[in-house]
Structure 1
Amino acid sequence: MSATVHDPATPAPTTPARARTLSEWHPEDPDFWERTGARVARRNLVFSVLSEHIGFSVWSLWSVLVLFLGPQYHVDPAGKFLLTAVPTAVGSVLRLPYTTAVARFGGRNWTVFSALLLLVPTLLAGILLRPGVPYATLLVLAAVAGVGGGNFASSMANINAFYPQRLKGWALGVNAGGGNLGVAAVQLVGLLILATAGAAHPRLLPLVYLPLIVLAALGAALRMDNIETPPQRGHALRDICREPHTWVMSALYVGTFGSFIGFGFAFGQVLQVQFSQQFDTPVKAACLTFLGPLLGSLVRPVGGRMADRWGGSLVTCWNFAVMAVGAATVLVASQRHSLPLFLTGFIALFVFSGIGNGSTYKMIPAIFGARARAAVLAGADPAEAERTSQRRATALIGVAGAVGAFGGVLVNLAIRQSFLSAHNGNAAYLAFLASYSLCLVLTWAVYLRGRGAAAQK
């Protein structure tokens, strides 16, 4: 992608519709990057993070709203786990069209539209959520909140185009981490409402986000840019589904992001059900619910930076080893009914799922970046090789993001089924341990064995 960048200080082009479009973009050119690219990319990153952050908060609304659903709502624990799984499933499906929307409509344009779309689930929940509402209506409200999950895919696809290869791990980590903080943020806002207004006022939570959504859309409209791209040949998502790396990376992303979002949605309910004596009120559960998502989000750029330095595959492999230890700790703590050990294991899972989020996203552009370099050495046109690499990496980010988010559904369903059948989460925790061990072996076998893998760096 090439760039003649319109400096914000210069007059806008005569066509208003193109006033925020970069006709060329050369992030791999050191002179261009130092002169104008870094500043423009940084500005787009800031407002992308803001919009994605609000999207994650809306997506995660029901991880908090279920804590407000007392006896007057007539929803049992299994029904609450389903309410947290539904928006995760919808969000995972929407990530596929959201990924392609950036290339079709422009990053700035789609960010504005997708931010304004968040008004729908917040307004509906603010109007309809009250005692006596049918469970089917609650399921619909939870499903509509899934639109917030799509924002991540479009945001990552957009920022991936703005940064050079050497900084993608850090940039994608910051973008994803800032967005993921929305999970912790909505839980903190929910805790504040529970502690002040009480559990009888769940509608306050979605209504708080209405002005924030408008501000995010306005910021994107005024400060973000589209990157003009040439017409694409073929269908990116269809083509990438034929790529073996797509399914390997998707499996790894289930282990990292799927864990993060699944635990983020279910953690409060797990505490209330498994340690009901210690967490007999929603406020007590909410006091700890936000901590895991907060730490997991904050370390995500660290995972990207580590991957930039030591290689995405190496960091990811060690990360899954630690996650397996964390899952084993949770299992032992559950069997011994030890709350301190249980919290320690779960916090470790949140932290290292965040680090793994950053390192896996470094691996994706690295795979196709290596192919582009090999193609250039074989005589291919450098610009065309870079465009192909960018297109395939963006498509893979979308597919892996969708499959990874669906992993969050599996986490919630596994925990729900475990509690239904055995009245504890031990079977689910054992399944998580096995999954992380499998991901460790998969990472080593595909990307580290022989030390010749494309994604190693």
Structure 2
Amino acid sequence: MNTTSSSRRAGRAGNGEWLESWNPEDTDSWDKGLAWRTLWISTFTLTLCFTSWFLASAIAPKLTNLGFDLSTSQLYWLTAMPGLAGGLMRLIWMVLPPIMGTRKMVTLTTVLLLLPVVGWGIFVQDPTTPFWVLLSLSFLSGIGGGAFSGFMPSTSYFFPRRLQGTALGVQAGIGNFGVSLVQLLTPWVIGFSLIGFLGSSRPMATAPGEPPKDVWYQNAAYIYIPFIIVGAVLAWTMLRSVPVKANIRQQFDIFRNVDTWWMTLLYIMTFGTFAGLSAQFGLLMKNLYGAGNPDIVQGTGAAAQLLVDGYSVPDPVKFVFLGPLVGAAARVVFSPLTDKFGGARWTLISGIGIVVSIGFTLTALRPDTSSAAALDAGFDRFLWGMLAIFLFSGIGNASTFKQMPMIFERRQAGGVIGWTAAIAAFGPFFFGIGLTIMSPSAFYLVGLAFAVLCVVVTWQRYARPGAPKPS
């Protein structure tokens, strides 16, 4: 019986890049080993895509400390541009899986990551680099963001519906760890030389009153090059492609389905929030409670006594990795629960949690600089509120990706996953622009109202008893 099963799988697999036929719902013919191998290799490369996508958010907060002459608005633009580029590129990547196939798409995408990574490594060493060059590198970082809308649909082709919540949650969740990884590794890898010919050290200003320290900031980018090369080789040599017949025009039939638009709103609430806050967390912390707030480091009167009274100015690089880490972990942990209990109820929990967390964080967006104790208390509320938002957005990231394969048939589900991911990827851009043109409090109030709307949609359409599309 094992021999028959093996031969059946071999016959369906074919000998080339493209599988001859593939039906994961048929347990007798489904090649479980190939499916999971595809998941792990594409997840490894997707993690690298996210590190590349959020490299600017890890580098930008310290550029002025390295001698770059950049305004606060320009720094927000550097962290916002990958979101704009990622969203635009996801509109391209979402149609690639049926056309290019998993093998070519994953390999080519991984190789393209070298463009922004090598570029950042070179130009971060020169403080005279024009702003437009840095902005161009931020745009190229969007390649890593675009990949998500290709990788996730192609992975969904390999798994039966009963396992798609787990498979997509694991891939997206571990991929999301790339955001936390780049922010966690950056302050460590810049502290020593990797290889001499990669560049020399530069002095970087630290906290007020402390002397500059030598750093190799190019390491923040160069450290990923060997892993990118390994990922590209693994993808080319070990991946296969599922035959899915759908040209670009056929893939656009998803827009005639109203649930495409409702799920887009919900994924903006979850992943748009996760990505937007991941990109802006460091700058927001710096400008509210750190060296970017002049009332703290250059104030007069009571504010001038803050440092004397014992207020420790937080270094964003020591905290910003926590948010993406919490969000990514929640996506991985809750994905199997969405397979067990359904996605809609977890999306509802996610939305309610986001509403409450935003409301709590709002109380900390106007720092009280009357005393060090008050400022410390405000920072604690800000940090815990932000981590709560990340937690519930991560839960929603898992649950929405369980819902989509249940609401749509297989080909359309892949397209909807790609489309919703593309629109939500604009999160870093809109968060960056929003925080540039309005106060943090006003911006969070807008986010609160939007989250309330999404909770109502989730309840009415998917989660209530007798809902039109229970999922």
Q: Assess same fold via TM > 0.5.
A: yes
Cα shift at 1:451: 2.6
Cα shift at 1:7: 9.1
Query: 1:178: which partner in 2?
Result: 174
Contact 1:169 1:308 in 2 (8 A): yes
Cα shift at 1:155: 0.8
Are residues 1:58 and 2:58 paired? no
SS at 2:95's partner residue?
Answer: helix
Query: Where in structure 2 are the equivalents of 1:269-280 lying within 5 Å?
Result: 269-276=283-290
Query: 1:374: which partner in 2?
Result: none
Query: 1:299: which partner in 2?
Result: 330
Query: Where in structure 2 are the equivalents of 1:408-427 lying within 5 Å?
Result: 408-419=428-439, 425-427=440-442
Cα shift at 1:92: 0.7
Contact 2:8 2:29 in 1 (8 A): no
1:333 to 364, 384, 387: 364
Which has the larger displacement, 441-450 or 345-354?
441-450
Structure 1 pair 277–207 and aligned structure 2 pair: CA distance change class (3 A): closer
Query: 2:186: which partner in 1?
Result: 190
1:393-429 Cα offsets, whole Å, 9 max, x none, are 111111101111113321222222234xxxxx21112
2:10 to 6, 13, 16: 6
Structure 1 pair 120–347 and aligned structure 2 pair: CA distance change class (3 A): same
1:143-190 Cα offsets, whole Å, 9 max, x none, are 111111111111101111011011111110001011111101111121
Cα distance in 2 for partners of 1:236, 1:293 equals 35
Cα shift at 1:30: 2.4
Cα distance in 1 for partners of 2:82, 2:367 equals 33
Query: 1:47: which partner in 2?
Result: 41
Structure 1 pair 41–282 and aligned structure 2 pair: CA distance change class (3 A): farther
Query: 2:316: which partner in 1?
Result: 285
Structure 1 pair 67–166 and aligned structure 2 pair: CA distance change class (3 A): same
Task: Specify every segment of 5 or more residues in structure 2 that has no aligned partner in the other structure, as ranges.
Answer: 1-6, 193-200, 205-214, 298-311, 369-377
Contact 1:67 1:282 in 2 (8 A): no
SS at 1:289's partner residue?
Answer: coil
Cα distance in 2 for partners of 1:282, 1:161 equals 49
Cα distance in 1 for partners of 2:360, 2:278 equals 18
Cα distance in 2 for partners of 1:428, 1:319 equals 20
Cα distance in 2 for partners of 1:89, 1:192 equals 28
Q: Which has the larger radius of gyration?
A: 2
Query: 2:211: which partner in 1?
Result: none
Cα shift at 1:236: 3.5
2:229 to 186, 191, 214: 214
Cα distance in 1 for partners of 2:356, 2:168 equals 27
Structure 1 pair 308–291 and aligned structure 2 pair: CA distance change class (3 A): same
Query: 1:75: which partner in 2?
Result: 70
Structure 1 pair 155–234 and aligned structure 2 pair: CA distance change class (3 A): closer
Structure 1 pair 335–125 and aligned structure 2 pair: CA distance change class (3 A): closer
Cα distance in 2 for partners of 1:203, 1:7 equals 49
Cα distance in 2 for partners of 1:172, 1:184 equals 19
Cα distance in 2 for partners of 1:228, 1:432 equals 41
Cα shift at 1:336: 5.7
Cα distance in 1 for partners of 2:237, 2:326 equals 31
Query: 1:267: which partner in 2?
Result: 281
Cα shift at 1:341: 1.1
Query: 2:79: which partner in 1?
Result: 84
Query: 1:100: which partner in 2?
Result: 95
Contact 2:82 2:428 in 1 (8 A): no
Query: 1:246: which partner in 2?
Result: 260
Structure 1 pair 332–392 and aligned structure 2 pair: CA distance change class (3 A): same
Cα distance in 1 for partners of 2:58, 2:446 equals 25
Cα distance in 1 for partners of 2:428, 2:259 equals 21
Query: Where in structure 2 are the equivalents of 1:290-439 lying within 5 Å?
Result: 290-335=321-366, 337=368, 338-368=378-408, 389-419=409-439, 425-439=440-454
Cα distance in 2 for partners of 1:173, 1:5 equals 26
Cα distance in 2 for partners of 1:105, 1:5 equals 23
Structure 1 pair 128–23 and aligned structure 2 pair: CA distance change class (3 A): same
Query: 1:29: which partner in 2?
Result: 26
Structure 1 pair 195–7 and aligned structure 2 pair: CA distance change class (3 A): farther
Contact 1:320 1:440 in 2 (8 A): yes
Cα shift at 1:342: 0.9
Identity %: 32
Aligned length: 418
Structure showing the higher helix proportion among its residues: 1
Which has the larger displacement, 66-75 or 155-164?
66-75
Which has the larger displacement, 231-240 or 60-69?
231-240
Cα distance in 2 for partners of 1:4, 1:139 equals 52
TM-score by length of 2: 0.84
Are residues 1:257 and 2:271 paired? yes
Contact 2:148 2:418 in 1 (8 A): no
Cα shift at 1:339: 0.8
Cα distance in 2 for partners of 1:66, 1:4 equals 53
The one-letter amino acid of 2:396's match is G
Query: 2:140: which partner in 1?
Result: 144
Cα distance in 2 for partners of 1:40, 1:360 equals 25
Contact 1:87 1:145 in 2 (8 A): yes
Cα distance in 2 for partners of 1:131, 1:255 equals 37
1:338-397 Cα offsets, whole Å, 9 max, x none, are 1111111100111111110010111111102xxxxxxxxxxxxxxxxxxxx211111111
Cα shift at 1:195: 4.6
Query: 2:32: which partner in 1?
Result: 38
Cα distance in 1 for partners of 2:387, 2:282 equals 13
Which has the larger displacement, 289-298 or 121-130?
121-130
Query: 1:452: which partner in 2?
Result: 467
Query: Where in structure 2 are the equivalents of 1:199-210 lying within 5 Å?
Result: 199=204, 200-210=215-225
SS at 2:96's partner residue?
Answer: helix
Cα shift at 1:68: 2.5
Cα distance in 2 for partners of 1:449, 1:402 equals 28
The one-letter amino acid of 1:432's match is G
Cα distance in 1 for partners of 2:102, 2:247 equals 19
RMSD between aligned residues: 2.3
Contact 2:9 2:29 in 1 (8 A): no
1:200-249 Cα offsets, whole Å, 9 max, x none, are 533221111111110110111122211123x3367244211222111111
Cα shift at 1:301: 2.3
Which has the larger displacement, 124-133 or 433-442?
124-133
